Amino acid sequence: MNPSTTLETPWQWGSRSLYDSRLWFYGLLAAGSVSNVLYYCTVPLVGIGVLAGTTLPRQRALRVLLMMWGVNQFLGFTVRGYPYTVSTFAWGGVMLLGAIVAVLLASMHSAFSHNQTRHGLWLTASLLLGFVLYELMIWLGGFALGGVHGLTLSVLGEIFLGNALWGTGLAAVHWGLVRRWLRLKEAPSD
């Protein structure tokens, strides 16, 4: 199938092709794993999760998030020495729940449901709103788990910046892969 035989634009067709492939899924898993090595508690669950939610089927996006979170928890409790307390495990659950909400929000529209500009706008809106919802879950969790005294505006700004950089950087990679996919499909075959 190619865009000339359907009502899809080339962007929609290329995005759908990447959406259906395993390449992007495994690429996001790899990026999530790398982010876990670079970050401790502020792993960019929202940035990568929202991008997964807008560029992958919902089930795969949730798998990316769950695996990314699982690697974070594994590294935290083995390498980084997180304490084995109910509170620590509960905070991990709160982080996961907040990130799931962000992914579900982002997955309301897939990458190929509209043109490139609208996709970028949806990704930006999902990242902003998803981050707010994620941090709201953290804040609410603090009432039950003992406060969020370290979440000042400057700390939230740094956490958002990290999520935005990961989300934007991977969005650029996605855009490049869609363009590359289209060039490969347009190339004459010998």
Whether residue 143 is contained in a domain is answered as: yes
Query: For residues 18 and 70, what is the distance between their CA atoms, to the nearest angstrom?
Result: 25
Q: Which domain holds residue 73?
A: 14-176
- Convert the pLDDT of each residue in 5-44 to its tens digit: 456 777 777 888 888 889 899 999 999 989 988 877 778 9
Dihedral angle sign, alpha carbons of residues 142, 138, 44, 73:
positive
Q: Do 58 and 107 touch, CB atoms closer than 8 A? A: yes
Whether residue 104 is contained in a domain is answered as: yes
- Convert the pLDDT of each residue in 109-150 to its tens digit: 765 566 778 888 889 999 999 999 999 998 888 888 877 667
Whether residue 186 is contained in a domain is answered as: no
Whether residue 44 is contained in a domain is answered as: yes
Phi, psi of 89 (to 5 degrees): -65, -40
Number of domains in the chain: 1
Whether residue 182 is contained in a domain is answered as: no
Closest CA to 156 of 141, 171, 136, 140: 136
Whether residue 151 is contained in a domain is answered as: yes
Whether residue 188 is contained in a domain is answered as: no
pTM of the predicted protein model: 0.86
